[in-house]
Amino acid sequence: MTDVGYVIAGWSVAGIVLGAYTVRLVLRIRRAERESAPPESNT
């Protein structure tokens, strides 16, 4: 692998890990907020 290949691999791994963690966290919060809201606030 060339130097550029290692750079692409490193930056891609970082982007995927940080992006996936952020998206998963946001989705978990939304789900938890839906489940935490009292029934009357869902209407």
Residues of this chain that interact with another protein (CB under 8 A) are: 1, 3-4, 6-7, 9-11, 13-14, 17-18, 21-22, 25-26, 28-29, 32-33, 35-38, 40-41
Provide, rounded to whole angstroms, the least separation between the CB of residue 29 and another protein.
Answer: 5
Half-sphere exposure of 40 (CA within 13 A, CB side): 0
Provide, rounded to whole angstroms, the least separation between the CB of residue 42 and another protein.
Answer: 9
Amino acid at 41: S
> What distances in angstroms separate CA 16 from CA 3, 12, 22, 26, one per listed residue?
20, 6, 10, 15
Provide, rounded to whole angstroms, the least separation between the CB of residue 25 and another protein.
Answer: 5
